[in-house]
């Protein structure tokens, strides 16, 4: 008889909801911080910038996009390699996945507003090369620690990383050089 307990649909839904909440909170923190930064910079120029709702919406959408990306087989291609390899691979993979989603999002928005899809591409390109490169760099940097933590958690096993961060640990032995 197997020691593996059957997984119920509600347990899977709760686990996926917890993952989505964690990703959303991380991305919300970042995007809202970035929005505050933009607001302060633009305030110095006499311009108003209050796009916190957009930052939160982007965070929840990206959280879902990342969860969907995790379900693809291609995102797990290098999971057996040293941890740095799947981490960097997934950072790039999720960044590209996010880019594709953003293009689709703009195309759908154009269609909803009765505009041709070419207007969506023009809107994306109109921000300029430097802005697009800056956004790409920001997304890569945001994803790096998030994916690193996700990969460490995957390596430690279910709830392993959560246990390390949230459970009380025994004091280090007195002979341990790391002990204070």
The model's pLDDT over 95-110, given as tens digits with 9 standing for 90+, comes to 888 888 888 888 888 8
pLDDT at residue number 172: 76
174 found inside a domain? no
Same domain, 117 and 51: no
Same domain, 76 and 140: yes
Same domain, 54 and 90: no
Say how many domains are in the chain. Answer: 2
Residue 19 lies in a domain: yes
Shared domain for 44 and 95, answered yes or no, is no
C-alpha to C-alpha distances, 120 to 95, 98, 175, nearest whole angstrom: 19, 16, 63
145/109 same-domain check: yes
Q: Which of 39, 36, 87, 31 is nearest to 60 (CA)?
A: 31
Q: Does 76 share its domain with 136?
A: yes
Instruction: Say if residue 154 is in the same domain as residue 128.
Output: yes
Give the domain extent around 48: 8-59
Q: CB–CB of 75/69 below 8 Å?
A: yes
Same domain, 23 and 97: no
CA dist list (Å): 113 to 58, 107, 119: 20, 10, 11
The pTM assigned to this predicted structure is 0.73
Task: Judge if 89 and 136 occupy the same domain.
Answer: yes
Whether 80 is covered by a domain: the verdict is yes
Q: Which segments of the chain have a pLDDT < 70?
A: 1-7, 175-180
């Amino acid at each position: 008889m197997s020691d593996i307990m059957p997984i119920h649909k509600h347990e899977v839904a709760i686990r996926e909801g917890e993952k989505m909440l964690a990703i959303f909170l991380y991305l919300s923190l970042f995007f809202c911080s970035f929005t505050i930064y933009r607001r302060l910079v633009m305030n110095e120029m006499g311009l108003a910038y209050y796009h916190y709702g957009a930052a939160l919406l982007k965070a929840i959408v990206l959280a879902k996009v990342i969860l969907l990306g995790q379900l693809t087989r291609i995102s797990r291609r290098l999971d057996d390699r040293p941890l740095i390899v799947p981490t960097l691979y997934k950072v790039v993979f999720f960044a590209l996945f996010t880019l594709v989603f953003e293009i689709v999002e703009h195309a759908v928005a154009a269609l909803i507003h009765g505009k041709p899809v070419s207007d969506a591409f023009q809107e994306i390109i109109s921000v300029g090369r430097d802005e697009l490169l800056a956004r790409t760099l920001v997304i890569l940097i945001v994803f790096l620690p998030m994916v690193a933590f996700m990969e460490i958690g995957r390596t430690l096993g279910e709830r392993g990383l959560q246990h390390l961060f949230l459970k009380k640990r025994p004091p280090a032995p007195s002979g341990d050089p790391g002990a204070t």
